[in-house]
């Protein structure tokens, strides 16, 4: 990647090319499956401790500490345990997991092998979004390679640990990226989130204790085992947040793409202007969505925020899946939020009242404003609807839909008013 800084150690980007994909490359150049061998010599608790020391936060969006999550799995369970990889990557703007699956699939497979050993799962699933046709095929090829060489299957590497890994393709629903919606879909049911508790660690796939981790989270595991949790933790520049993160940067920048940056090592400004080479056509920056389309929008004045979970949360947005969408001065914010809201209304599963009814209502109102039929009180109504959705839904999709609308109306109110006054037309 052209703009990728090289002043720090990286785990992924140097391997993001076609040559890195085969098992032979992974074994020769990436110390492949050595971490698994090392892990099989460790106790399960020691592995989980190492991951805890690494301060590895989930890369899917919520940023939940991975080691702590693994610790929730009961040691003994009458039902089989499962390790599920969330490769649904459905948050708009996110495309980092795709590169891992495309170029370094064995990092993920080895990570799952180690994870399954640590939690005592004999079966694993990679739930991949249906649109990733090519990646599903590549993953299956890599899994076949791993089976052929004994890295998957019965008694892996003589450890006594059995692990079977299956790729399950989704059918194209955003909600199947929500972990319990994913589990329902995996079980062949409607992709609808479940009531929590019980959390998947107590009763997940097929009722068994289950860990659901993001692709990148799992792919980080081999490096943590090989080089140690402390090494990984130190790669991050903030406490409680270790490693590097893959950022999917898109929108109006000169060099969009996937970049690997230390957790908390860069500000949003640096990411846009240094890493990505600045604004496309040197236009003025208007706004940034810092963590996938569900993250509340930031204005151009707010980009000195450090890119990590807590700092972004502190200013009222979220880092989410580290999908940064950069928006220039020519972009109509009303049209943009109309498109985002339409997406969430379309992707709402329809189970719970505020999300099912509220998302579509917001979409209808914004659509009306855009087409010149808005009223000034619609803006307060929109804010009130976001209040009524936020934190009151069954899963996080409601919040994901409400957060952006509230932030757009609050921060770019004048643009909505221009449409309502008839100064602008769709």
Partner 1 sequence: MPKCTIDGREVEFKAGENLIEVARKVGIEVPYFCYHPALTVVAQCRMCAVEVEKMPKLQTACSTPAAEGMVVRTNSERAKQNQKSIMEFLLINHPLDCPICDKAGECDLQDNSYKYGDAYMRTSEERRTYLDLDMGPVIKKNMNRCIHCTRCIRFGTEVAGIHEMVAVQRGNNTEITTIDGRPLETDYAGNYADICPTGSLTLKDFRFHKRAWMLKKTATVCEGCSKGCNMEIHQDNNVIHRTVPRANPEINKYWLCDEGRFNYHYVVDPKRVTAPKVGAERSTWHAAVAEAKARLHGKKVVVLAGTDLTLEEAKLLQDFVPKAFPGSALLHFGTPGIETTAKDAPADKILKRKSKTSNLNGFEKLGIKPLESMPAADAILVVRGGRAQLPKVEGLSNVIGLGVFTESESASFAAVLPGTSFAEKDGTIVNYEGREQRLRRAITPVGQSKALGEVLMLWLHSGAAKEAAV
CA-to-CA distance for 273 and 278, rounded, in angstroms? 4
118-126, 258-266, 281-289, 348-356 -> range binding partner 1 (CB under 8 A): 348-356
**Would strands 210-214 and 82-87 be described as parallel, antiparallel, or unpaired?**
parallel
55 contributes a contact to partner 1 by CB under 8 A? no
Q: Select the residue interacting with partner 1 from 55, 351, 386, 407 (CB under 8 A).
A: 351
Minimum CB distance to partner 1 smaller for 119 or for 365: 365
79-87, 270-278, 301-309, 384-392 -> range binding partner 1 (CB under 8 A): 384-392
- Which residue, among 75, 51, 46, 74, has the nearest Cα to 64 in the 3D structure? 51
Minimum CB distance to partner 1 smaller for 8 or for 206: 206
Phi, psi torsion values for 298, nearest 5 degrees: -110, 145
200 contributes a contact to partner 1 by CB under 8 A? no
DSSP state of 210: E
CA-to-CA distance for 235 and 249, rounded, in angstroms? 21
CB-CB contact of 415 with 334 (8 Å): yes
Q: Compute how many residues bind partner 1; rule: CB under 8 A.
A: 30
Minimum CB distance to partner 1 smaller for 182 or for 359: 359
* Smallest separation, CB 363 to partner 1 (Å): 9
CA-to-CA distance for 104 and 206, rounded, in angstroms? 29
24-32, 116-124, 179-187, 381-389 -> range binding partner 1 (CB under 8 A): 381-389
357 contributes a contact to partner 1 by CB under 8 A? yes
CB-CB contact of 309 with 64 (8 Å): no
130-138, 260-268, 311-319, 346-354 -> range binding partner 1 (CB under 8 A): 346-354
Q: What residues between 172 and 191 interact with partner 1 by CB under 8 A? A: 173, 190
393 contributes a contact to partner 1 by CB under 8 A? yes
DSSP state of 258: E
Mask: binding to partner 1, 240-259, rule CB under 8 A, as x and -? --------------------
126-134, 151-159, 263-271, 342-350 -> range binding partner 1 (CB under 8 A): 342-350
Provide DSSP, 64-121: -BHHHHHHTS-SS-SSPPEEEEEE---STT--HHHHHHHH-HHHHHHHHHHHHHHHT-
CB-CB contact of 342 with 317 (8 Å): no
Q: What residues between 154 and 173 interact with partner 1 by CB under 8 A? A: 173
95-103, 213-221, 269-277, 345-353 -> range binding partner 1 (CB under 8 A): 345-353
CB-CB contact of 113 with 221 (8 Å): no
Greatest alpha-carbon pair distance for the chain in Å reads 73
353 contributes a contact to partner 1 by CB under 8 A? yes
Binding site for partner 1 (CB under 8 A): 173, 190, 195, 345-361, 364-365, 368, 381, 384, 388, 391-394
């Amino acid at each position: 990647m052209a703009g990728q800084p090289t002043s720090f150690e990286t785990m992924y980007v140097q391997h993001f090319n076609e040559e890195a994909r085969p098992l032979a490359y992974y074994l020769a150049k990436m110390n492949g499956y050595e971490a698994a061998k090392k892990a099989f010599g460790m106790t399960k608790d020691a592995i989980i401790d190492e991951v805890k020391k690494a301060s590895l936060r989930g890369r899917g969006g919520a940023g939940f500490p991975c080691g702590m999550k693994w610790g929730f799995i009961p040691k003994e369970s009458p039902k089989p345990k499962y390790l599920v990889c969330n490769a649904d990557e459905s948050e708009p703007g996110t495309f980092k997991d795709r590169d891992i699956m495309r170029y370094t699939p064995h990092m993920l497979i080895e990570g799952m092998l180690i994870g399954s050993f640590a939690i005592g799962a004999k079966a694993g699933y990679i739930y991949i979004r249906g649109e990733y046709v090519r990646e599903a095929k590549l993953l299956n090829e890599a899994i076949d390679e791993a089976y052929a060489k004994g890295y998957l299957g019965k008694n892996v590497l003589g450890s006594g640990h059995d692990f079977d890994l299956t790729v399950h393709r989704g059918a194209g629903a955003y909600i199947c990226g929500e972990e319990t919606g994913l589990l329902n879909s995996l079980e062949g049911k409607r992709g609808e989130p479940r009531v929590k508790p019980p959390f998947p660690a107590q009763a997940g796939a097929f009722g068994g204790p289950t860990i659901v981790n993001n692709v990148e989270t799992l792919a980080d595991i081999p490096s943590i085992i090989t080089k140690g949790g402390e090494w990984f933790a130190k790669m991050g520049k903030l406490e409680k947040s270790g490693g590097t993160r893959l950022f999917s940067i898109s929108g109006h920048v000169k060099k969009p793409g996937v970049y690997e940056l230390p957790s908390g090592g860069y500000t949003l400004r640096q990411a846009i202007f240094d890493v990505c080479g600045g604004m496309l056509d040197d236009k003025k920056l208007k706004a940034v969505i810092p963590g996938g389309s569900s993250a509340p929008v930031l204005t151009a004045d707010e980009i000195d925020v450090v890119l990590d979970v807590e700092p972004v949360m502190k200013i009222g947005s979220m880092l989410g899946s580290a999908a940064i969408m950069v928006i220039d001065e020519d972009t109509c914010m009303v049209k943009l939020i109309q498109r985002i809201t339409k997406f969430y209304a379309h992707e709402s599963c329809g189970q719970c009242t505020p999300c099912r009814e509220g998302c579509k209502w917001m979409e209808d109102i914004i659509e009306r404003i855009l087409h010149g039929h808005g009223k000034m009180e619609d803006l307060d109504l929109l804010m009130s609807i976001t209040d009524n959705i936020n934190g009151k839904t069954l899963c996080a999709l409601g919040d994901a839909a409400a957060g952006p609308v509230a932030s757009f109306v609050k921060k770019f109110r004048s643009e909505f008013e221009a449409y309502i006054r008839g100064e602008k037309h769709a």
